[in-house]
Structure 1
Amino acid sequence: MISSKGGLWLPQWRRLLLIAVLLIPASLYLYESYRTAQQREASDSDNHPTVNLVVASLLKDDISWTHNITIPNLNIIRYVSDYLDAEFHPPVPKKGREALIYHTYLHDFYDDLPDITIMVHADETSWHVENILNKSMTFALSHLDLQQVLQRQYFNLRVSWEGACPDWINTTFTDQDDERKLEEPYMYEAFSENFATSDVPEILGGPCCSQFAVTREAVRRHPQSQYRQNMDWLVQTDWTDYIAGRVWEHMWPWLFKGEAVDCAIEWKAYCRMYHICFDIESRELVTSLEGERKKLLDKIDTVQELLDPQGGLAARKRVEEIDATMQVELEKALERGSSEAVRMDLLSDLYN
């Protein structure tokens, strides 16, 4: 049909039909692309465990560093010990250090736990985090193998055996002059009261400092009432905040694993859990450097430097050299650990 202007003219219904015919393939393509993207996103999410990062803090603490952690599906829950108007807080302020906060979380979130909960202090850098972990909690958590956490069910983020393993605490000791473990005389009573038992292990061992990752299944080894019992004990004890918190540093492995001693071989733990894998040669070098560094640090204090300024200066310079070498070895270890085949080869011996 020819229009009055000499052009081809189509009835309106035919024009609409033609437009629809032309648009349907494009629409189907866009829909399929969207659906594929959604499926891929859901699949990626399914491949990563859900994680709560529970931060035990004071109101003055800056925890902005936690936003730099590269963990998928990470949900940050900040507990504030000294501000009871905070969204998350323990039942009483500043009691039992991080232990009361952790047990409060475990009780209150018992029915709504993620796959993994990671418990940490508010400090991003402190002596609690080893040099091998770059002295950085951000670094440590960003390199933590969550699949290995799921397999192990409980993992202390600090690996070092120093002042911890394999038999650091003897629960039969009633007197203690060692300032490194003033909580030891209190351990028998703390253990028996928190777990309602007289069958107390004689030896307790595990890396220090109450920073760890634990799975939903490990938490639910016990009924919710266990965590209420622990909360009540921490609130009601007349022990100092220091002692009440410190005794719990040695009881987490028993709570989550039913084990009194939890001392994984250090080098294998770094490799398996953080993919920081040293071969025999680099392991010997790093061990030697760590020992030398520790001795040098004893010379770097105000009194020593006043007595021996040149010695203090030389010690500082050597520590800087050691730190630089350690950083190079860390980068090499991370490169080794990036290969699953290399990790499995280095971990071929029985993992303790």
Structure 2
Amino acid sequence: MISVQEFASSNPKVRLCAATLLCLLFLGALIEAWREDTFAGGIQQGSLSIGQTDTDYGAISLEQTEININIDVNVNMGEESQAPALLRPAIIAGAVLADSLEWMQNMTDEYDVFPFIVTDASSPLHLAIPANKGREAMVYLSYIIHNYDNLPPYAIFTHGHRTAWHQERDIVDMIQDLRVSALEKAQYVSLRFSWSPSCPAELRPKHHDAVVWGDGDHLRETEDAIGDAWGALFPDEKLPDTIASQCCAQFAATKEAIRRRTKEDYVRMRQWLLDTRLDDSVSGRVFEKLWAYIMTGEAVQ
């Protein structure tokens, strides 16, 4: 009986077929090795949370307000020089579970949104507050502290409701009509245009002789609270004779305005809010009247 080796050596066609088969197998192995090397070496694993941007400063989509879902994605920019990611402006809203935040979904094409649900103990870390005190002030201070080192170009601080008595218009329209060029120049702007129920000399914490529009509800307790808290909030600054700005703690500020104060300043302010025995309505009103001063250094805005 003739062996396989003898048959192959005596038949040129068999030798050609065998050589061709070996070449194809070798070529296939090379291609597979190249594919594995390209995908393994050229793409590295990263992590991105649903609702978060690759700028990684904590925005979350309203579609996942109460659920924190992580998805692994593969991203690599190679060894070439990389341009820093551009941070998008942010909307920070203080809300309760009963508030409808659907309006914020319409803003996510242009803004990163931060819905702080102050009555939700299960909020993710970047949307959590240490205590539900001081109304929206605790939310605003906590956002600034969490993101101080990586702030967006500007941030809009607002309440969770879409409409309210103190808003001249729908909050979505107000945000969309914000003139960024004017904000960049002023660095801080109120989302409310009217001075009522405030006025150009609303608070007189030293002399208590302010002339106010309307009945001046809570005027004296607010003046007293600001006067008492001033040394703790602004230890190296003189209490102004007059403090005035539009109500009602809804405004836009650039990162430069926010960084006019140090992170430690905001931590100190929040600690005062945590420690104070004042009613939330009063402690919240203290900051409502002071946001313009905090961001600009101007007592009358």
> For this structure pair, what is the TM-score category when the shorter chain's length is used for normalisation?
0.5 to 0.7
- The offset of 1:90, in angstroms, is 1.1
User: 2: CA distance between counterparts of 1:237 and 1:211?
Assistant: 23
- The offset of 1:82, in angstroms, is 1.6
Would you tell me which structure has more helix in proportion to its own residues? Answer: 1
Given that 1:173 and 1:185 are in contact with CA atoms closer than 8 Å, whether structure 2 keeps it comes out as: no
Cα distance, 1:148–1:245 mapped onto 2, change above 3 Å: same
Equivalent of residue 59 in structure 1, options 97, 100, 108: 97
Name 1:97's counterpart in structure 2: 135
Name 1:81's counterpart in structure 2: 118
Given that 2:158 and 2:249 are in contact with CA atoms closer than 8 Å, whether structure 1 keeps it comes out as: yes
Structure 2 residue 281 is the aligned partner of structure 1 residue 242: yes
Name 1:159's counterpart in structure 2: 193
SS at match of 1:120: strand
Name 2:183's counterpart in structure 1: 149
Mapping of residues 173-212 of structure 1, within 5 Å: 173=207, 178-181=216-219, 182-197=221-236, 199-212=238-251
User: 2: CA distance between counterparts of 1:98 and 1:195?
Assistant: 20
User: 2: CA distance between counterparts of 1:122 and 1:225?
Assistant: 27
Amino acid of the structure 2 residue aligned with 1:61: D
> Which consecutive unaligned segments of at least 5 residues does structure 2 have?
1-83
Q: How much is the aligned-residue C-alpha RMSD, in angstroms?
A: 2.2
Equivalent of residue 220 in structure 1, options 253, 256, 259: 259
User: 2: CA distance between counterparts of 1:98 and 1:253?
Assistant: 15
Name 2:41's counterpart in structure 1: none
SS at match of 2:252: strand
After TM superposition, the structure 1 stretch with the greater mean CA deviation from structure 2, 170-179 or 151-160, is 170-179
User: 2: CA distance between counterparts of 1:175 and 1:233?
Assistant: 27
After TM superposition, the structure 1 stretch with the greater mean CA deviation from structure 2, 237-246 or 175-184, is 175-184
User: 2: CA distance between counterparts of 1:100 and 1:205?
Assistant: 21
Structure 1 residues 122-176: Cα deviation after superposition (integer angstroms, max 9, x where no partner): 110111212xxxx211111111111211121111111111122200001115699
Mapping of residues 241-280 of structure 1, within 5 Å: 241-262=280-301
Given that 1:206 and 1:253 are in contact with CA atoms closer than 8 Å, whether structure 2 keeps it comes out as: yes
Given that 2:207 and 2:241 are in contact with CA atoms closer than 8 Å, whether structure 1 keeps it comes out as: no
Name 2:88's counterpart in structure 1: 50
Given that 1:80 and 1:90 are in contact with CA atoms closer than 8 Å, whether structure 2 keeps it comes out as: no
Amino acid of the structure 1 residue aligned with 2:183: V
Amino acid of the structure 2 residue aligned with 1:126: A
SS at match of 1:158: coil
Name 1:288's counterpart in structure 2: none
SS at match of 2:199: coil
Amino acid of the structure 2 residue aligned with 1:236: D
Could you tell me the TM-score, scaled by structure 1's length? 0.56
Amino acid of the structure 1 residue aligned with 2:153: D
Given that 1:84 and 1:90 are in contact with CA atoms closer than 8 Å, whether structure 2 keeps it comes out as: no
Structure 1 residues 176-225: Cα deviation after superposition (integer angstroms, max 9, x where no partner): 99425341221212222211146100100110110000011111111110
SS at match of 1:54: strand
Given that 1:49 and 1:73 are in contact with CA atoms closer than 8 Å, whether structure 2 keeps it comes out as: no
